[in-house]
Structure formats: C-alpha cells, structure tokens
Amino acid sequence: MLQASWDSIVSHSTRVKAIRTALRRDELPHSMMMLGPRGIGKRRIALCAASSLLCKVSKPGSFCGECHDCRRIWAGTHPDVISVRRRLATDSVSKKSDGEGKESRFIAIGDEDEPISNLLHTVRGMCEVASLKPFEADRKVFIVDEAERMTHEAQDALLKTLEQPHEDTYIILLCRGRHAVKETIFSRCSVLQFHPLSEADVATVISREVPHANPDDVRLASFFADGSPGRAIELLDENLRDEIRAFFEWFTALPLSSPLAHAESLIARPEHEFGPRNFEPIRVRLELYFRMLISIVNAPDRCPCADVANGWAISLPQTARAEIAAAALEAIADLARNVRAQFVLDYLTTRILSYVPKPGRK
C-alpha cells in the first residue's frame, strides 16, 4: 500500500500547497486535471486530496491516514473513492489490514484488448454513478488514470459531468499530456501542471520506497528515470544493466545492418519476454529504451554506465544528439497515442541512422 501522508510527497510543493489551501477553504474545484509525466506522484496527490475530503478525524486540508475511511481509500476499497483505470492483474481481491477480503472499487478503462465501444460504456457508467448520492460519506471522488487514453467519444460523454458535477462529487483526471485530450475537456477543468523530479529527488523516493536497493542500481535507475520515481522503481525490477547493455549494443550495430531489420531485432526482445500480443508491456519496454537514449545523448558525460554508452554518444556532434533526443521524444508520444510499436520503432530507427556515421565514413 502507498504511504498515506501529505508529507510522503517529494517535490511539487507549490501545487500541493495550492491544493491543501483550497481544501482548507472548502474551495477545491469539483473538476480537476493533474497534468504531467507518468510516475511523478500525481495519483498519490489525488489520493491525499480524496482522503482530506473524506477523513472525519483530521481538520480540513489534512487526513489522519489511520481511520477506517483513510485505510480503505489507500487500499482502494472505499465505496466513495472510485478509480477509473486500466484493469490490472492484481485487481481480483485486496486484503484489508484486518484480513477481510474486499473487492477494489474501480471502473475499467482502456484495456488493450477491449473494444472501443466498451470504453465509451465505462465512461458513461462512471457518469451514471457520479449522478448518484455517495454510498457512505458526504462526498465521493473519481480518480481517472491515464485520461489521455479516452477516445473522443468517451471524452464527449464526460463533458456534461465535468461541467456540472454534483456538489458532493469531485472528479480528478490524471493525464500525461495534452496530445490526445480535447480542449473542451481542459476548458472544463482546473488544470495543475506537474513536472519531473530532480535526479536527487528521484533517488530520495527510491531510497524510501525500496530501502534495501543496491546504491549503484539506485543511481543508475535515477539517471534513466527521466524525473519519474515510479519509472525508476520499475527499472529496479528489471535486470537494468543487461537491458542497458542490450540496447546500446543494438544501437552501436545500427550502421552495420538494414534499419528495418535492425528495428525488428530490438522489438523481438520484449515480444519474446511478454508475448507478441501483450502490447502494454512491450510499449513500456520500448519507452524505457527510448528514454535511455534521451538520457545518454542529453548528458553523455554524466552517464553512470560509461563503459556501455559514452563512446558513441560523446563522438556525435551536439546537433545530432539534439535531433536524436527530439526523435525519441516523438516516438514516445506516438506510443502514448497507441501507434503500432513496430511502426514507431521502424521510423525512429531510420531517423537515427541519418545521424550515425556509417562505417569507414568520418
């Protein structure tokens, strides 16, 4: 379970202060958009806000983290705090601290193998639940993860609820970027922009969440996490050094082979591990590779794995490194838009090849 406390939030002090001030004054907007990269703490902040709204023990703007309501909110089982998100393998039953089994309160959204029509129906179902009175508390809160995954039809279905929410209903949309969300959604929300953490703050979060992690691995994960503690913790679960070495061996060999064949060889690695139709983990792995590339070309002199990557990165002109980083960012955005992973990698590989010197050419 996540640590239940406003004090557990690292960085974002200005945004957190604004939210807590609004809570103390009973002025929290009923429709909010928390905008920023994955894994930087948006969901934790949303849960803190929900806890502050529903906790009956603490003063406004705070929550105790220990009462029955707070424990259920952070366990995902409170009937009036509902997550709208992708279905996870761990969603069957969660255990409360007293050992009693309780189903998680969530509405499934955006499963990779789920028809688009079902996605629209889940949003409409959320709007129907939003029109009802809370089950137990005086208020209810919806936390919509990955709002950028909603289809335009689903976003249209949500508009009226965002514009005229019931006075006891709060909707918090968590979104990675504006690219796939209609402006009409943004115009009906109070938007808070959240930014990546510093490398030092990422390391602080890792040390707290994974206290027994190897310090060298923490340093490596912090460097490649692109300011995202969530991503850094995921990296610790991977065989990180092997993944780094495999990617940069692939990159170094790029000028020696056909770009499309070479792209196929890289995507074959996660496809072999996860299965060719298990799209989400393949997308996440490719995003990891692309962010590794960005980290290296942006700061080759600070790379913690100089033996693997520094040679080719430092040898490239600054303009070429900047172009490669921009191409990788575009590829990450394409993955987020659900462009087919093979197409994204083919195009990126071809673009990279235009900046990497061919063998024997200076």
For domain 6-193, the CATH architecture is 3-Layer(aba) Sandwich (3.40)
Q: Are strands 106-108 and 81-85 parallel, antiparallel or unpaired?
A: parallel
Domain locations in the chain as residue ranges: 6-193, 238-353
The answer to whether 331 touches 236, Cβ cutoff 8 Å, is no
From first to last of the 362 residues of the chain, give the pLDDT tens digit.
566 789 989 999 999 999 999 999 999 999 999 999 989 999 999 999 999 999 999 999 999 999 999 999 999 899 999 988 766 555 544 444 444 445 555 565 544 444 444 455 678 888 888 989 999 999 999 999 888 888 888 899 899 899 888 899 999 999 988 877 899 999 999 999 999 999 999 999 998 888 888 888 888 888 888 899 998 888 887 667 777 777 777 777 766 667 677 788 888 888 887 787 777 788 888 888 888 888 878 877 777 665 555 556 677 788 888 999 999 999 998 888 878 888 998 898 888 878 766 654 44
107 φ, ψ (degrees, to nearest 5)? -115, 125
What CA–CA distance (Å, rounded) separates 224 from 219? Answer: 9
User: How are beta strands 169-175 and 106-108 bridged, if at all?
Assistant: unpaired
Closest CA to 55 of 109, 5, 119, 15: 5
pTM strictly above 0.75? yes
Q: Are 244 and 305 in contact (CB under 8 A)?
A: yes
